[in-house]
Amino acid sequence: MTGPHLLKRSFTLAGHRTSVALETEFWSALEELAAARGLTLSALVQQVDAARAEPDRPLASALRVHALVASRDGQQE
């Protein structure tokens, strides 16, 4: 169950449907990052999923960390 401040989105990763619940602010940051890189949000999520160094880390956590690191580094590419 997600709280009122979480927005749930579904993606197909490695042929399987999965849902991720994040705060709207994180979705906005990830959408901006994807657009700056010329990617769809789905493509960015797939990249983050494939690059997880710790496969046991939940995808939602990996996406939050990715957004935070990109923000801190000023990465748009």
Q: Are 7 and 21 in contact (CB under 8 A)?
A: yes
For 8-21, what is each residue's pLDDT tens digit? Answer: 999 999 899 999 99
Domain ranges of the chain: 40-77
Over pLDDT 70: what percentage of the chain? 91
For 27-50, what is each residue's pLDDT tens digit? Answer: 999 999 999 999 999 999 999 999
> What tokens were used for 50?
């494939």
Among 10, 28, 32, smallest CA distance to 20 is for 10
> What tokens were used for 25?
């602010």
